[in-house]
């Protein structure tokens, strides 16, 4: 008897291990966009697809295995993607546990691993995990071709692109699949009907002033990034597909959904699920002016009352965009400022003119748009003095929210390749690549250890969010309830496995 379901996409998650006590109400619960896009791609080709969001549903490996036994899919795809670079690697322990549970309970079901981390380390992933197959590219074409091979009973997998598999004791791989270029037609958006929409929750800061964080959704309006920051792994799943399309080495793909396609997704979210809080999960949304204006004008014409946040860069935001962004409901823009030291920024190839920084932040806030500033401690040229410069800059800017992250050598990034080549210490577990896990271990810089970087980051977080000028600004803008929420946030201390001491 043939399976009733062709494809089951599983979104793994281990919120408690990754975020510790922050997972109890403070962190966002993100919809699995990539699982949705893959489901849409498969459906367009006449295949039946379902999504099991183990992260949102709080399901452990055994519960996932029970669901698989009930659904009897032809292929299970464990999707190890996320909305930020670390979100792929840090869920590998949960993804691996699901693969093991499936092989223990339903060994006849074929399992494919796909995602950013997987594409960065495909052969290693196949050797380490209890999966039948691993995808070395972005995934959609590989999934459909593999399903077609399984449905036909074909034993020759050479026609399935971007596939890693075992043949006796040998790991085999196939040629790469070209990237999906016609996004509107081939991956027209997430099939939200496959997801538990009531489970998703916005970031806490996204709803400052009105802490009603549900309903919530996130979507891509573009894929990829044309820039070359050494710490970023965002292009890892796209590289094989870029090669198949004949991209020159070092040229990054950047693909767009058309504004009408993006607006159709927003229409479905607003009218079908009453969503107001939306994240544009693009690596950089504010980049292509015509695209930004097309999306914003469409939202304005519809008269939607949205609360959107998106990523921008200091060197891509133009003053004339701000009024449109604000009218469309973009109330938060996130900027990757990273560091204060020009030496540190230059070494990381973070290319923006620091003289523009304060001007851009000021004009954004004057337009009525809040700023979330992303800073990074522990880039290769950092030392305690340069990290202090970065913290001082953050305190001076006094933005509505900040993320203080540590530089991690994420698989797929140039930092990872350098760390492996030079034998630098890396976390003992993939969960250690999380910014918030107990076993978190940043990359050492050329001057200080990873342990020193982590201590500095945790102390900097506390100093920023208990700073009286910051709390006074928050109370003026968002009210005392938001201040109380921030105090609750800072009261939750992360447990770290490294010895803690105050950073002077």
What does the pLDDT look like over 338-361, one tens digit per residue?
Answer: 888 889 888 777 666 677 899 999
135 and 51 in a common domain: yes
369 pLDDT more than 50: yes
Judge whether 233 lies within some domain: no
Q: What is the pLDDT of residue 8?
A: 98
Judge whether 360 lies within some domain: yes
Q: What is the pLDDT of residues 311-344, one digit of tens each?
A: 999 988 988 899 999 999 999 999 989 888 889 8
Judge whether 413 lies within some domain: no
Judge whether 429 lies within some domain: no
Judge whether 185 lies within some domain: no
Q: Which of 107, 504, 31 is nearest to 277 (CA)?
A: 31
What is the residue-averaged pLDDT of the chain?
A: 91
Domain count, the chain: 2
Q: What is the pLDDT of residue 2?
A: 60
Beta bridge partners of 173: 164
Judge whether 448 lies within some domain: yes
205 and 110 in a common domain: no
Report the C-alpha gap between 200 and 217 in whole angstroms: 7
Rg, Å, the chain Cα set: 22
Q: What is the pLDDT of residues 248-257, one digit of tens each?
A: 888 899 999 9
> Dihedral of the CA atoms 48, 54, 58, 63 (nearest 10)?
80
282 and 168 in a common domain: no
Residue 110's domain is classified under what CATH number? 3.40.50.2300
209 and 169 in a common domain: no
Q: Which of 430, 434, 413 is nearest to 239 (CA)?
A: 413
Q: What is the pLDDT of residue 28?
A: 82
211 and 130 in a common domain: no
Mean pLDDT of 120-137: 96
Place of tokens 């002016």: 289
183 pLDDT more than 70: yes
- Percent of the chain whose predicted confidence (pLDDT) is above 70: 93
Q: Which of 352, 381, 376 is nearest to 457 (CA)?
A: 376
152 and 217 in a common domain: no
DSSP H/E element including 375: strand 370-377
84 pLDDT more than 70: no
Q: Which of 396, 380, 376 is nearest to 348 (CA)?
A: 380
98 and 21 in a common domain: yes
Q: What is the pLDDT of residue 500?
A: 44
Q: What is the pLDDT of residue 23?
A: 62
Structure tokens at 202: 């916005």
Beta bridge partners of 222: 256
Q: What is the pLDDT of residues 13-49, one digit of tens each?
A: 876 666 665 666 667 899 999 999 999 999 999 999 9
69 and 143 in a common domain: yes
214 and 137 in a common domain: no
Report the C-alpha gap between 447 and 449 in whole angstroms: 7
1 pLDDT more than 60: no
Domain termination site, one of 155, 173, 191: 173
Residue 213's domain is classified under what CATH number? 3.80.30.20
Q: What is the pLDDT of residue 356?
A: 87
Spell out the residues 6+ positions from residue 467 whose beta carbon is closer than 8 angstroms to its own: 395
Judge whether 504 lies within some domain: no
Report the C-alpha gap between 288 and 93 in whole angstroms: 37
- For the question of whether the overall pTM of this predicted structure is more than 0.75, the answer is yes
68 and 20 in a common domain: yes
State whether residue 445 is helix, strand or coil. coil
209 and 149 in a common domain: no
Q: What is the pLDDT of residues 442-501, one digit of tens each?
A: 999 999 999 999 999 999 999 999 999 999 999 999 999 999 999 999 998 888 887 443
Report the C-alpha gap between 453 and 406 in whole angstroms: 7
Q: What is the pLDDT of residue 202?
A: 94
Domain holding 83, by residue range, is: 5-173
Judge whether 184 lies within some domain: no
Mean pLDDT of 72-86: 85
Q: Which of 34-48, 155-169, 224-238 has the highest mean predicted lDDT (pLDDT)?
A: 34-48
Q: What is the pLDDT of residue 503?
A: 31
Q: What is the pLDDT of residue 24?
A: 64
Q: What is the pLDDT of residue 305?
A: 95
221 pLDDT more than 80: yes
458 and 312 in a common domain: yes
Report the C-alpha gap between 277 and 218 in whole angstroms: 9
CB 439 within 8 A of CB 497: yes
């Amino acid at each position: 008897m043939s399976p009733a379901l062709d494809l089951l996409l599983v979104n793994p998650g281990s919120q408690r291990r990754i975020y510790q006590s922050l997972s109890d109400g403070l962190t966002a619960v993100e919809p699995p966009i990539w699982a949705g896009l893959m489901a849409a791609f498969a459906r367009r080709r006449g295949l039946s697809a379902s999504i099991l969001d183990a992260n949102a549903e709080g399901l452990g490996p055994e519960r996932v295995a029970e669901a698989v036994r009930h659904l009897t899919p032809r292929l299970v795809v464990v999707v190890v993607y996320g909305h930020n670079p670390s979100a792929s690697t840090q869920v590998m322990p949960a993804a691996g546990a699901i693969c093991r549970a499936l092989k223990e309970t339903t060994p006849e079901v074929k399992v494919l691993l796909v995602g950013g981390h997987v594409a960065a380390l495909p052969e290693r992933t196949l050797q380490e995990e209890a999966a039948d197959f691993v995808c070395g590219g972005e995934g959609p074409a590989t999934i459909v071709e593999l399903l077609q091979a399984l449905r036909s009973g074909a034993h020759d997998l050479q026609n399935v692109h971007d596939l890693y598999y075992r043949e006796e004791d040998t790991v085999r791989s196939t040629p790469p699949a070209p990237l999906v270029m016609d996004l509107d037609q081939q991956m027209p958006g997430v099939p939200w009907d496959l997801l538990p929409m009531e489970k998703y929750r916005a970031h806490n800061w996204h709803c400052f002033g009105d802490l009603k964080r549900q309903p919530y959704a996130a979507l891509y309006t573009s894929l990829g990034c044309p820039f070359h920051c050494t710490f970023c792994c965002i292009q890892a799943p796209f590289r094989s597909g870029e090669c198949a399309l004949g991209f020159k080495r070092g040229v990054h793909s950047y693909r767009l959904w058309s504004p009408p396609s993006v607006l159709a997704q927003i229409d479905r979210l607003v009218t079908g699920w009453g969503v107001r809080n939306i994240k544009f999960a693009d690596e950089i949304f504010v980049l292509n002016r015509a695209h930004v204006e097309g999306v914003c004008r469409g939202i304005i014409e519809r008269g939607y009352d949205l609360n959107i946040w998106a990523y921008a860069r200091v060197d891509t935001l133009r003053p004339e965009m701000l009024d449109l962004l604000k009218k469309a409901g973009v109330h938060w823009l996130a900027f990757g400022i990273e560091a204060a030291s020009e030496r540190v920024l230059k070494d990381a190839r973070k290319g923006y003119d620091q003289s523009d920084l304060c001007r851009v932040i000021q004009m954004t806030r004057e337009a009525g748009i809040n700023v979330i500033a992303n800073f990074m401690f522990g880039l290769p040229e950092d030392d305690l003095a340069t990290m202090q410069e970065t913290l001082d800059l953050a305190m001076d800017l006094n933005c509505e929210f900040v993320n203080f992250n540590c530089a991690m050598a994420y698989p797929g990034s140039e930092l990872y390749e350098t760390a492996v080549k030079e034998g630098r210490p890396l976390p003992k577990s993939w969960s250690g690549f999380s910014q918030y896990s107990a076993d978190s271990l940043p990359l050492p810089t050329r001057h200080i250890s990873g342990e020193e970087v982590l201590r500095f980051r945790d102390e900097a977080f506390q100093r920023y969010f208990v700073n009286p000028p910051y709390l006074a600004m928050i109370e003026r803008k968002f009210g005392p309830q938001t201040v109380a929420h921030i105090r609750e946030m800072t009261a939750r201390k992360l447990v770290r496995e490294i010895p803690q001491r105050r950073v002077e």
